[in-house]
Amino acid sequence: MFREIGAPHHKPHFHAEYQGHIVTYSIDPIELLAGEFPIPQKRLVEAWAELHKKELQEDWQLLLQGKLPEKIQPLR
């Protein structure tokens, strides 16, 4: 998650990147908004997001306050 200065943010979301592909997912519900990943990576990102939904929501609130988001553990 990162701050996009000057960009409209109507829906809480996060970005993921894999081998040059970038996707955007909404946080609640976990839903693909833009971009495309291979199916295995798409499933991994969705599973990770479900496991970390609360942390993603907390990070979104931090960003709205102009603060940096906390790190969230990756899938292992």
Q: What number of other Cβ atoms are within 10 A of residue 18's Cβ?
A: 15
Task: Give the pLDDT confidence of 44-61 residue by residue, as tens digits.
Answer: 999 999 999 999 999 999
**Mean pLDDT, residues 2-15 taken together:** 69
Cβ contact 72:52 at 8 Å: yes
pLDDT at 60: 92
Q: List, for residues 22-41, the tens digit of each pLDDT value.
A: 999 999 999 999 999 999 99
Q: Domain residue spans in the chain? A: 1-76
**pLDDT band for position 64 (50/70/90)?**
confident
- CA–CA distances in Å: residue 53 to residues 22, 24, 29, 39, 46: 19, 14, 9, 20, 10
pLDDT for 24 equals 93
6's torsion region: left (phi>0), alpha (psi -120 to 50) or beta? left
